[in-house]
Amino acid sequence: MTAIIQRAGFLTSVQDLGRTSFREFGVSLSGALYPFAMRVANLLVGNHESEAGLEITLGGLQLHFQDERIVAWCGGEFDVLIGAAPLPAGHTALVRSGEELKFGRAQIGCRAWLAVSGGVDVPIVLGSRSTDLRANFGGFDGRALRDGDVISLGEWPGSSAFAKATADKPTTAKVISSWTAPHDWVSPAKPNPILRFVRGMDWTRFDAATLQRLPSEPFTVSPDSDRMGVRLTGPELARADNVDLISEAVAPGTVQVPPSGQPILLLGDCQTIGGYPKIAHVITVDLGIAAQLRAGDRVRFSEVSLGDAHRLLLQRERALERFRIGLSLRSP
């Protein structure tokens, strides 16, 4: 079956967990800018966590469903409605045939990730359904969604525990779960964001004053930011040398410093190599906060050890496994 994009909003695209194993050929990762949020949303609706969903930037999306589906979303602070009923982040809802799902404007943060039972069914390109908006391939015709687009949804037998538990509800009742995922998972946007980082390989190429400024002074998000990276303005990050560098691998989370001294935090659509010095790398568990940064936001950095970064990631993965087990116990 299908869903009709009545309003596409500012920027909505089909994304999954990204296009892996092709970076050596210059192919960007793409995918949801916060893959963990997409994983959680997919688990909530009974999908495999790698199914494709929608990434919504700054809201405005309006979807019309042509059959019954379960939906869930994670992300910034949005007003989301099914008809006139609010759907909070991290809760599942049964959307019936003919109903509409609407995302209002973001109040805090800027992105949300929507999962639909059965997943969004678009062709797999290089192992992923994600949209590469710069190279114009994957997803829905290699582009952002537009008003009037009709997206295919994967088959869904409607036999999940959620659907069975609500089968006796009147057809006019709005069925929204009382249970949810942990708040920090489903609502990663922060009003005063702090990004934890580990030192980059070029840390020692910067002068002592710069190394003190990065973790102590705020930076402001520039309007010249997108899915490729977040440009920041603030105190100049000055190098202690002027040696030309060879381009090396970069990844989402890398903080590069061009000659202007104003850092760039790379996100999911970033290039695969870069020649600017890499002063830091934002840790994986904070990429959800990074993905919510929008123009005018002020952000601070806080250094942690590589061991702490590994520990925090492992703790989250263990917690997700417990959550996955808990969801399976709801199954018939």
Alpha helix locations (H) across the chain? Answer: 35-45, 161-165, 183-186, 208-213, 287-290, 306-328
Percent of the chain with pLDDT over 70: 94
Q: Nearest to residue 175, comparing CAs of 104, 256, 117, 241?
A: 117
Q: How far is Cα 129 from Cα 146, in angstroms, rounded to an integer?
A: 17
Q: What is the pLDDT of residues 189-217, one digit of tens each?
A: 988 899 999 999 999 999 999 999 999 99
Q: What is the pLDDT of residues 228-260, one digit of tens each?
A: 999 999 999 999 988 888 899 999 999 999 999
Q: What is the pLDDT of residues 97-124, one digit of tens each?
A: 999 999 999 999 999 999 999 999 999 9
| DSSP code per residue over 258-271 | -TTS--EEE-TT--
Domains parsed from the chain with CATH numbers: 2-187 (no CATH), 194-317 (2.40.100.10)
Q: What is the pLDDT of residues 1-25, one digit of tens each?
A: 899 999 999 999 999 999 999 988 9
Q: How confident is the model at residue 157 (pLDDT cuts 50, 70, 90)?
A: confident
pLDDT of the residue at 159: 43
Written as six digits, the tokens of 282 are 């934002």
pLDDT of the residue at 208: 92
Mean pLDDT of the 120-146 span: 96
Give the contacts of 322 (CB within 8 A, at least 6 positions apart).
none
Work out the mean pLDDT of the chain and round it to a whole number: 92
Residue 96 is given by DSSP the state P
Tell me the one-letter amino acid at 281.
H
For residue 163, pLDDT over 70 is answered with no
Mean pLDDT of the 298-316 span: 97
The answer to whether the pTM exceeds 0.75 is yes
Give the contacts of 175 (CB within 8 A, at least 6 positions apart).
93, 94, 166, 169
Q: Give the number of C-alpha atoms closer than 13 A to the C-alpha of residue 34, restricted to the C-beta side.
A: 32
Mean pLDDT of the 176-200 span: 92
Q: What is the pLDDT of residues 24-75, one digit of tens each?
A: 899 999 999 999 999 999 999 999 999 999 999 999 999 999 999 999 999 9
* Greatest extent of the chain over all pairs of C-alpha atoms, in Å: 71
